[in-house]
Amino acid sequence: MSMKKVGSIEVYELDENLDKYTRKEREEYINELFKQEYQGKEISYLLNGEEIKALINQKTRRNFRAYQHSGKYETKKSYNARQNIAFSGNYIDMISNTSYNYSKAESKEHQKRHHKNNRWHYFNKIIKCNNCFYSVNIDVLEKDNNYFIYNTKLKEVDAPALNRSMISTSSVINIS
């Protein structure tokens, strides 16, 4: 898979070699990538005009769900696109260069599992993969003034209905 910029949209083109691997082989490889290469990296985001560094950690890997598609948050098509991007080594590109969307405090229903002083920050951008447009949604957890990439999801969007203000034009990327 290769990634190129067309205007302000990142376009991911799949490699035909992906079909040589079974789903299980891809999932095992993605989990190893998270363990060996991605875990511990920090991605920079602009939050209310200030740069924050969000860590890719074990929770990121667990919530990436490279095990099984549940259908709860993504369609199978979106899930497969996200998995193919990660399998091809373009995960960092996919989660970088996003725009701030909004923030909120921890909801009461999640306070049992999370600390009640946590805050959530949401970032997104539009990409194109396999001739489909997707909104990349990244959930960043703020806990004790530290930031963690908690979850990433893709959601298919209709190309004619794309709101140009959603398409990220910022280019902040620092990988530690």
CA–CA separation, 56 and 39 (whole Å): 5
Within a domain: residue 75?
Answer: yes
pLDDT, residue 141, reads: 92
Within a domain: residue 172?
Answer: no
Predicted model pTM: 0.81
| Residue spans of beta strands (DSSP E) within 56-175 | 99-105, 119-129, 132-143, 146-157
Q: Give the domain range for residue 86.
A: 2-166
pLDDT tens string, the chain, 176 residues long: the values are 678 888 889 999 887 778 899 888 888 888 888 888 999 999 999 998 999 999 998 777 776 755 455 556 788 888 889 888 988 889 999 999 999 999 998 876 555 555 666 899 999 999 999 889 999 999 999 988 899 998 889 999 987 666 554 444 444 444 44
Within a domain: residue 134?
Answer: yes
Domain count, the chain: 1
Within a domain: residue 151?
Answer: yes
| Residue spans of beta strands (DSSP E) within the chain | 2-6, 9-13, 42-47, 50-55, 99-105, 119-129, 132-143, 146-157
CA–CA separation, 150 and 169 (whole Å): 23
Within a domain: residue 174?
Answer: no
Integer-rounded Cα Rg, in Å, for the chain is 16
Within a domain: residue 125?
Answer: yes
DSSP β-bridge partners for residue 47: 50
Closest to 142 in 3D by CA, of 116, 176, 171: 116
How far does Cα 66 stand from its chain's mean position?
13
**Quick count: other Cβ atoms within 10 Å of Cβ 2?**
10
pLDDT, residue 124, reads: 94
Closest to 145 in 3D by CA, of 63, 55, 56: 55
Within a domain: residue 14?
Answer: yes
pLDDT, residue 71, reads: 57
pLDDT, residue 134, reads: 94
Within a domain: residue 171?
Answer: no
